[in-house]
A and B are shown apart, each in its own frame.
Chain A
Amino acid sequence: MKTQQAKPARYVMVIDVDRCNGCGNCMVGCAVENNVSVPPADALANRGLTWMKVYRVGNDRPFPDHQTVCLPIPCQHCDHAPCIHVCPVTAVQRDEQTGIVGQIPERCMGCRYCMAACPYHARYFNWFTPVWPAGMEKTLNPDVGTRMRGVAEKCNFCHGRLDRARERAAAEGRRQLDPGDYVPACAEACPTGAIRFGDALDERSGMKDLLAAPETFRLLESLGTEPKVYYQSRHAWVRQVGRSRLARVRGFETPAGEGVTHG
């Protein structure tokens, strides 16, 4: 019997920077969904895990002409991901069926080459054995395993949700997912609708128009990494910062793992 194969997808995220109010819901929603652990209280600030991190970006003009926007940065799921090429144990893989760049913690040996290679500083290292306060293990997401100390981890577009969506679709006799079947936790938690997500190859998702909009841009485009996380802003200075001057963003300039204490 010939098996009908699901069509390939190209999942993309479009973040409307002008809509983001910096509430941090995306960070919390992500951490809850993916069982991201809480480091010890005395840990250095940048030794924590934030698969999705919101940065504040200013236009460097004096008050009151100063403008600030919030820039949420998850893993960019690059088509030409540097982290894939540098991993010596193939713990990072790009799924050809979805375009999602996944991390396989069981294979990771903790060399952190991927962190050094990632120009978006979107990879994090488990410096500590993940521990939750007594009783709180009961609140962990059963669809996502916890990671151990000594491995790198990052956003995977909530792959557990993709699996659930596929299971639901299969139970309904569908091979293809409909738009809205699969939405990452950050997009779902965003109260302003700033984060939109969908299959760019599916006309019904509306992503094609968003990607073609003149205010759409990608971070550090000149590197040629071809990220699948897109941003939108009507402010030219925001687009300029995102495209080529990301290193100026406060907090972004410090590579993860270097010793900077929090206040």
Chain B
Amino acid sequence: MSVTRRCFLKFTCGAAAGTLISPLPWKLLDDAAIWTQNGSWVAQTPRGPVSSLFSTCTLCGAGCGLRLRQVGSDTVSVQGVSGHPVSQGALCPAGLGLAQILHHPARVRGAMKRDRSATAPWHPMDTTSAYAEVGRKLAELRAAGRSGEIAILDLRPGRSLSVLYRNFLATAGAGRYLTLPDGRQDAATALAELAGVPRHAPGYDFAHAGAVISFGAPVFDGWCGAGPAPGLIPATGGTRPVVVQASSNASPTTNLADVWLPLRPGTETALALGLAHLLRTEWTLPFTEEPWPGYNDQVSQHTPRRVADITGLSPALLQTTARSLSGRGPVLAVGGGAPGAGPLGQAEELAIWALNLTLGNLGQAGGVVFRPDLPWSEAAPVPGGTTSLREVPDGSLDLLLVDGSLPDSPVSQALLRRKMRPQSGLIVGLSAFTVGPVAEADLILPAAGPGEWLQDVTAQALAPRTSYALARADAGLPAFAAHPAAILERLARTADFPTPASCGPDRHEEVVTDRLQSLLSQGTGHLVSPDGTTRTPVNRVASLRTFRKALLAGDCWIAPPAPARPVDGLHLTGGARPLFETVAAAAPGRLVSESADPSACPVTLMFDGQVGIAGGGALPPVVNKLRRESNFLPAVDAARVNPDFARQNGWHAGQPLTLTTKRGAWPVTLVLDETVQPGVVLLPAGPGPTGLGDPDDLRTHIIDICSGTDDPVWRVGPAALRKV
């Protein structure tokens, strides 16, 4: 049989057509698609035994419960723990991305140094040389009798590591132990300065309050840890306190509050005094005792009409608000400022505390409760003393070691530098990241990150209950990083300090163990399981070993509820009269709208930033991604202005403008935002889009460049806007 050309073509075409209707080509296409999606260039997910365990977050001081999902020994996801006794299941965006943080591209993977400028680039440095350089400086200062110029800035006091910082300073000679100014802590301190009551730390009992008056505190937005303050979001069908939010601009908290008082910027003092006036007249409160001389006169003078003139709120709104609070049970007034927007001033805090006193809620359930102290002394003696960084004289420090914790609020970089000797001052960061105050450092020694070393977490300022938890070292310590205590010990050895082991990792373990033993010996409180389902009285815990094991498994020690300690009156201490004078001085308002540039439009400069992020990175890449890709967070140079105000001044969206303050002029881009009060320009605080603490990141230095660092109340100030 011969094969003709026609037969050949028929066979070939028939075979091709037959193949097309067979599964073969589709199978090949499918395999090709699968192959292209499983090539070596496609990221592969980890494989191994999956397990889950509980721990505590240490990114900030809130102490949120974590459920870690692990493949082998690697954490692949972090979730909140529903029912957790401290966080109630909430977690912030940074906490959800916690597993990524340790692999952050900006992680400090070796010692780094740079010229004495926060904008200079970092250069890698041999770790041994870095320790030698810092050790030499320590030894020189000690030998020259200048150990008072050595200081440690502890960003999260109260931990076991804080004890070691103090030990280090003690063995150095006369070093100083420094803390950062913090709005919530300042609020607690304001009360402490008023009277002898708060020998115990105050806390806000939202869960039992009938109503809450918040003076700018973002109570629905992570102010007391992730999510709303405990007790402010009820279960479906439940009730929560009525919330009155007094703040100049709209925010998530004003959206969720029952009443919003859009007061003029910086007029919180007058509002607090005015509400005290209204509560006395509307409620006829049996208030007779004067907390300090002249207070009652001030309250009497702050009639609704006068307060309306100062705050811009109508007298009717003030009266309606005061009436709406009546008959709801305990009413709680809350200050403290917002991490992103800055702290309230001392005068505002004092006026708010006095309002609480007027309301009669100090020491009462649903009011300001006074928490039992932890059974150990926080204040190990430091020869050089303990103080806030702001109180240190300028140019008085020659060596500052900066703790690597992540701060809750933006930190003034210039404030840090100003405390150093101009030529010789050396700032050394003990950190895993170049963020927060460490962004100002001259030299960085790589430290362990969150989850890489055992940490303890105590209740943060103004939390309603005293608590204690451990954050386990589940991630393991990488070769390039060291336990912060190991860094201290190595520095102490390099500088020939007398007892270097007193600040080493072994001592850290001992301090943690001592603390656990103290809690166990005290025998009060409960050991609560991470999901809140099991509560074991501490006096039934068999041994220290069992106690430690439980805490390492994610349990929390929770103190008994704060006992009712009714406070009838605050008794003046020595410095109270000047304090009251600050209240009287601030009552007319802090709104300062004098123009720094006569040719420009005067505006009131304010800041905002998302809670949990405002303080700085290191933010997980996934959080940065969403910040960039959503239209939810403002751009780095965004100056948000009310549309009507912009129209009056002939500005339009996207227009480049120049913002002028007494510290200089900066380019910004106009963004129209109806949530901003007319006359106000709102700048974003916190890290920029990369969240890496870049030297040229405008937001890293926004507080310094746009606000006076001499003024602790940087949340409101005068500025001017003009066209380029």
Contacts and interface: CB of A to CB of B under 8 A. Distances in A.
A28 B623 contact: yes
Contacts of B268: none
Interface stretch (A63-71, A170-178, A240-248): A63-71
B630 A35 contact: no
* Most chain B CB inside 10 Å of its own CB: which residue of A38, A106, A138, A262: A138
Interface stretch (B100-108, B410-418, B426-434): B100-108
Contacts of B620: 28
A45 B629 contact: yes
Contacts of A135: 103
Contacts of A36: 622
Contact of A251 (B631, B637, B677): B631
Contact of A28 (B93, B676, B678): B93
Interface stretch (B71-79, B129-137, B483-491): B71-79
Contacts of A69: 255
Interface in A100-122: 105-107
B80 A189 contact: yes
B42 A191 contact: no
A86 to B, nearest CB: 19
Interface of chain B, helix or strand or loop or mixed?
A: loop
Nearest to A191: B227
B609 interface: no
Given A19-B256, A189-B80, A133 B103 contact: yes
Contacts of B674: 58, 60-63, 66, 68
Given A21-B221, A106-B33, A193 B235 contact: yes
Contact of A145 (B45, B222, B621, B690): B45
Interface in B216-235: 220-222, 226-228, 233, 235
B36 A133 contact: no
Interface string B226-248: 11100001011000000000000
Contacts of B45: 35, 137, 140-146
A48 B635 CA distance: 16
A136 B621 contact: yes
A70 B436 CA distance: 29
Interface residues of B, number: 80
Nearest to A70: B252
Interface stretch (B84-92, B163-171, B392-400, B710-718): B84-92
Contacts of B36: 148
A31 B79 contact: no
B47 A24 contact: no
Contacts of B610: 23-24
Contact of B626 (A28, A63, A146): A28
Interface residues of A, number: 73
Contacts of B105: 133-134
A130 interface: yes
Contacts of A50: 626, 629-630
A18 interface: yes
A139 B75 contact: yes
Interface string B642-674: 101000000000000000000000000100001
B42 A41 contact: no
Interface string A123-137: 000000111111111
Interface in B600-644: 610, 612, 620-632, 634-638, 642, 644
Nearest to B220: A21
Contacts of B37: 105-106, 145, 147-148
A205 to B, nearest CB: 12
Nearest to A180: B82
B91 A191 contact: yes
A196 to B, nearest CB: 8
Interface string A47-82: 011100111101011111011111000000000000
Contact of B97 (A32, A68, A263): A32
A152 B212 CA distance: 47
B262 interface: yes
B233 A193 contact: yes
Contacts of B353: none
Contact of B631 (A31, A55, A136, A140): A55
B46 interface: yes
Given A28-B93, A50-B629, A138-B103, A63 B76 contact: no
B104 A133 contact: yes
A68 to B, nearest CB: 6
Interface string A171-201: 0000000000000000011011100100000
A134 B621 CA distance: 12
Contacts of B34: 106
Contact of B628 (A21, A45, A129, A145): A45
Given A22-B632, A138-B103, A146 B43 contact: yes
A130 B43 contact: yes
B675 interface: yes
B453 interface: no
A263 B458 CA distance: 39
B30 interface: yes
A99 interface: no
Contacts of B256: 18-19, 21
Contacts of B74: 138-139
Contacts of B128: none
Contact of A138 (B46, B78, B228): B46
Contacts of A56: 631-632
Contacts of B702: none
A22 B252 contact: yes
Nearest to B674: A66
A27 B625 CA distance: 10
B576 interface: no
A196 B631 CA distance: 24
Contacts of A225: none
Nearest to B236: A193
Contacts of A54: 630, 632
Given A25-B93, A36-B622, A69-B255, A142 B103 contact: no
Contact of B630 (A21, A27, A143, A193): A27
B392 to A, nearest CB: 36
A262 to B, nearest CB: 6
Interface string B37-52: 1000111111110100
A71 B498 CA distance: 61
A39 interface: yes
Contact of A189 (B50, B96, B630): B96
B656 to A, nearest CB: 12
B76 A140 contact: yes
Contacts of B346: none
15 contacts: A18-B256, A21-B221, A29-B96, A45-B631, A54-B630, A54-B632, A63-B677, A66-B674, A70-B252, A129-B42, A139-B76, A140-B43, A141-B77, A142-B50, A206-B236
Interface of A: 18-19, 21-25, 27-29, 31-33, 35-39, 41, 45-46, 48-50, 53-56, 58, 60-64, 66-70, 105-107, 129-148, 188-189, 191-193, 196, 206, 250-251, 262-263
Given A21-B253, A191-B80, 6 more contacts: A21-B252, A28-B626, A29-B79, A68-B250, A138-B76, A147-B37
